[in-house]
């Protein structure tokens, strides 16, 4: 059994997520171990976990949305619909969906207009 190819990405901004990190998930024996940029990157992570240790961030999740890819207006509209639905009935699935939309709105910087 061979060790995976471990790569680091430096100074790529939002290009890294689309052009390098996401495609590497489909390549066997390739592991992205480090991403560095001068600009902070925000992502909405749903489920899984995020660990910060020794100047490293590890994200293990089925869904992670980059802030720039989030449609804030769509998330706001869906959150309003879910809030209205929850006024009439308790539904754990709706509550979870509403929490995800609130995270999307916050990460994308859309709280000021809410």
Q: How far is residue 58's CA from residue 51's CA, in Å, rounded to a whole number?
A: 5
Q: How far is residue 26's CA from residue 8's CA, in Å, rounded to a whole number?
A: 17
pLDDT at 20: 62
32 compared with 83, residue with greater pLDDT = 83
When pLDDT is cut at 50, 70 and 90, the band that residue 114 belongs to is: very low
Residue-wise pLDDT for 70-85, tens only, equals: 999 999 999 999 999 9
Residue-wise pLDDT for 40-74, tens only, equals: 677 787 777 777 777 777 777 777 788 888 999 99
Q: What does residue 106 show for φ and ψ, rounded to 5 degrees?
A: -65, -45
Q: How far is residue 90's CA from residue 87's CA, in Å, rounded to a whole number?
A: 8
Q: How far is residue 74's CA from residue 53's CA, in Å, rounded to a whole number?
A: 34
Pairing mode, if any, of strands 63-66 and 56-60? Answer: unpaired
Whole-model pTM over 0.85: no
Q: Residue 113 pLDDT > 50, yes or no? A: no
């Amino acid at each position: 059994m061979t060790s995976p190819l471990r790569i680091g990405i430096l100074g790529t901004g939002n290009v890294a997520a689309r052009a390098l990190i996401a495609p590497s998930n489909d390549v066997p024996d390739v592991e992205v171990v480090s991403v560095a940029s001068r600009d902070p990157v925000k992502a909405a992570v749903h489920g899984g976990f995020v660990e910060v240790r020794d100047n490293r961030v590890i994200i293990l999740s089925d869904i992670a949305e980059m802030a720039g890819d989030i449609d804030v207006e769509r998330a706001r509209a869906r959150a309003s619909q879910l809030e209205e639905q929850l006024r009439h009935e308790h539904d754990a699935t709706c509550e979870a969906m509403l929490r995800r939309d609130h995270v999307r709105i916050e990460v994308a910087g859309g709280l000021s207009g809410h």
